[in-house]
């Protein structure tokens, strides 16, 4: 078996036993990237020198008998909106095409401290705005299961890289489903932790009350290991919470028997492909066989999640992206300008793609005088009602279960001219972000050769319970062993 085919935990064990070196592991993944990247286009930037340098350090310290972190020498890829010191960070946007951060995001710094070699920066929808990775200013990433289909978004590059064995681990961000939905479409594990569980310092912001960094992995064990690396309080992030970080690996193995799971009927209704629904319900049946008590639950305000999200997220995006003006950093127009306003207008028109411009305009409108109360303030009130639905459900249940995506991966370009259909791709994931809850997607089967994901939603800081359910199901079914033939 090739080294790139091993999971992160298998690589970690082999490295610890000195069955192979970290340099050999990195070289194997760089060769894999070279073999498939032309067809896949998951990476915007590959960093072989940096990855090999860390690998050499790991090998040197291990040979000297030093005690190393558990994942030392296991490669990782980072979504290209995580600031990386000295390495270009573009957010897949022309406005940041040449931006090189002078510092690391906290999650990147923690991966460095854990001695994970960074293979490169992965493609994404521009500024994380999209559900297909078709909105990147530079390239379209393909789904490893079918190169004519999308990998999901906005973290599609990270998901595709992990699924195609270009990287055993990757980080993404999730504002409305941008980790879970591509994980589902690419047949891997992806988790959005509780809002505040993982630092957002150094993460280029889209919607600050919704964004959260999380792991991609090929199995639940690897997901738990990476979550343990990045989770924890960060004083540089005002929204980072000080709750202690559990031993996720130990918690995961406690078993799922005796846990109670609710099935929100609003997430199994209109818009869900019948074949996807039946596949997810088969996974629910398996969990019941494993001792998880499952029953239906009504959450009436969840139906309003999509319109609520598409007022709040663009409003926050309008504010966050105001800093890209051609004055301080990033792209600046080379056209003649008459005044500062002309400079702003030409710079932003050149630098931002159509989806980003659309969301900025929607958000600015929703925040404008005379419309703030009618739209933004009302959306915040609806958000409170949605969170109330979850609070009541979690008085009775340990987790909630649903499809992750209403469909399997759709063809590239299929929904490009249908913005509503594109936004409906996140109908099952958006409510979790609005409530600030943890959620994850695990593979639960296939429909016509394309992966289907089961979404597990947890209480605030309920990552351990989610992992227990996910691990028990994975051990029973083994879907994570399936791999694309890219």
**In 66-168, beta strands by DSSP E:** 76-79, 118-122
Name residues whose C-beta falls within 8 Å of residue 419's C-beta, 6 or more positions apart in sequence. none
Among 53, 173, 42, 189, which residue's Cα sits nearest to residue 120? Answer: 42
Catalytic member of 7, 131, 132, 154: 154
Omega of the bond leading into 154 within 30 degrees of 0 (cis)? yes
Determine whether 346 is an active site residue: no
Tokens of 453: 């994901």
Q: What is the pLDDT of residue 349?
A: 96
The 10 Å Cβ neighbour count of residue 242 is 9
Determine whether 209 is an active site residue: no
CA dist., res. 30 & res. 305, Å (int): 41
Phi first, then psi: what are they for 203, rounded to 5°?
-95, 120
Provide the 8-state DSSP code for 152.
Answer: -
Tokens of 85: 């010191």
Among 305, 295, 58, which residue's Cα sits nearest to residue 177? Answer: 305
Buried b (16+ CB within 10 A) or exposed e, 308-319: bbbbbbbbbbbb
Tokens 């060769």 -> residue: 31
Determine whether 7 is an active site residue: no
Which stretches within 41-100 are classed as H helix? Answer: 48-63
The domain 3-259+466-481 belongs to what CATH superfamily? Amidase signature (AS) domain (3.90.1300.10)
Catalytic member of 41, 79, 192, 423: 79
Provide the 8-state DSSP code for 420.
Answer: H
Name residues whose C-beta falls within 8 Å of residue 429's C-beta, 6 or more positions apart in sequence. 174, 176, 177, 180, 181, 192, 404, 405, 439, 455
Q: What is the pLDDT of residue 123?
A: 98
CA dist., res. 304 & res. 306, Å (int): 6
Catalytic member of 178, 184, 199, 305: 178
Phi first, then psi: what are they for 48, rounded to 5°?
-65, -40
Buried b (16+ CB within 10 A) or exposed e, 245-270: bbebbebbeeebeebebbbbebbbee
CA dist., res. 41 & res. 161, Å (int): 9
- CA-based end-to-end distance of the chain: 16
Phi first, then psi: what are they for 359, rounded to 5°?
-70, -35
Domain boundaries, given as residue ranges, for the chain: 3-259+466-481
Sign of CA dihedral 374, 379, 385, 388: negative
Per-residue pLDDT of the chain (486 residues; tens, 9 = 90+): 899 999 999 999 999 999 999 999 999 999 999 999 999 999 999 999 999 999 999 999 999 999 999 999 999 999 999 999 999 999 999 999 999 999 999 999 999 999 999 999 999 999 999 999 999 999 999 999 999 999 999 999 999 999 999 999 999 999 999 999 999 999 999 999 999 999 999 999 999 999 999 999 999 999 999 999 999 999 999 999 999 999 999 999 999 999 999 999 999 998 999 999 999 999 999 999 999 999 999 999 999 999 999 999 999 999 999 999 999 889 999 999 999 999 999 999 999 999 999 999 999 999 999 999 999 999 999 999 999 999 999 999 999 999 999 999 999 999 988 888 899 999 999 999 999 999 999 999 999 999 999 999 999 999 999 999 999 999 999 999 999 998
């Amino acid at each position: 078996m090739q080294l790139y085919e091993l999971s992160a935990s298998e690589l970690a064990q082999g490295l610890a036993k000195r069955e192979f070196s970290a340099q050999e592991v990195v070289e194997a993944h760089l060769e894999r990237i070279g073999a498939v990247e032309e067809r896949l286009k998951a990476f915007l930037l590959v960093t072989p020198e940096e990855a090999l340098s860390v690998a050499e350090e790991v090998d040197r310290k291990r040979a000297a008998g030093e005690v190393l972190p558990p994942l030392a020498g296991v490669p990782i890829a980072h979504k290209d909106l995580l600031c990386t010191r000295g390495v270009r960070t573009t957010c897949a946007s022309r406005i940041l095409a040449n931006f090189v951060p002078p510092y690391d995001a906290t999650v990147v710094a923690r991966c460095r401290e854990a001695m994970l070699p960074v293979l490169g920066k992965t493609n994404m929808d521009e500024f994380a705005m999209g559900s297909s990775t078709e909105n990147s200013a530079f390239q379209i990433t393909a789904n490893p299961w079918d190169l004519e289909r999308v990998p999901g978004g906005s973290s599609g590059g990270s998901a595709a890289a992990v699924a195609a064995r270009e990287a055993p681990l990757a980080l993404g961000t999730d504002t409305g489903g941008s980790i879970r939905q591509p994980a589902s479409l690419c047949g891997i594990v992806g988790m959005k932790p509780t809002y505040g569980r993982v630092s957002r310092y150094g993460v280029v912001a889209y919607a600050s009350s919704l964004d959260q960094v999380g792991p991609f992995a090929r199995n639940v064990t690897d997901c738990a290991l990476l979550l343990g690396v990045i989770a924890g309080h960060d004083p540089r992030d005002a929204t980072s919470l000080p709750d202690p970080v559990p031993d996720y690996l130990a918690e995961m193995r406690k078993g799922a028997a005796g846990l109670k799971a609710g099935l929100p009927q609003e997430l199994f209704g209109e818009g869900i492909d019948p074949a996807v629904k039946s596949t997810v319900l088969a996974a629910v049946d398996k969990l019941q066989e494993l001792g998880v008590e499952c029953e239906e639950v009504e959450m009436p305000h969840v139906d309003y999640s999509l319109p609520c999200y598409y007022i709040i997220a663009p409003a926050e995006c309008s504010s966050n992206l105001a800093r890209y003006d051609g004055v301080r950093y990033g792209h600046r127009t080379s056209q003649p300008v008459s005044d500062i306003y002309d400079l702003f207008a030409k710079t932003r028109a050149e630098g931002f793609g159509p989806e980003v411009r659309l969301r900025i305009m929607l958000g600015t409108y929703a925040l404008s005088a005379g419309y703030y109360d009618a739209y933004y303030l009302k959306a915040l009130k609806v958000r409170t009602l949605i969170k109330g639905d979850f609070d009541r459900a979690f008085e009775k249940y340990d987790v909630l279960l649903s499809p992750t995506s209403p469909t399997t991966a759709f063809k590239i370009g299929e929904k490009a001219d249908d913005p509503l259909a594109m936004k409906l791709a996140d109908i099952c994931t958006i409510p979790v972000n609005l409530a600030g809850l943890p959620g994850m997607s695990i593979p639960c089967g296939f429909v016509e050769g394309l992966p289907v994901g089961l979404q597990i939603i947890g209480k605030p800081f309920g990552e351990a319970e989610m992992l227990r359910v996910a691990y028990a199901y994975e051990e029973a079914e083994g879907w994570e062993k399936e791999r694309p033939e890219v």
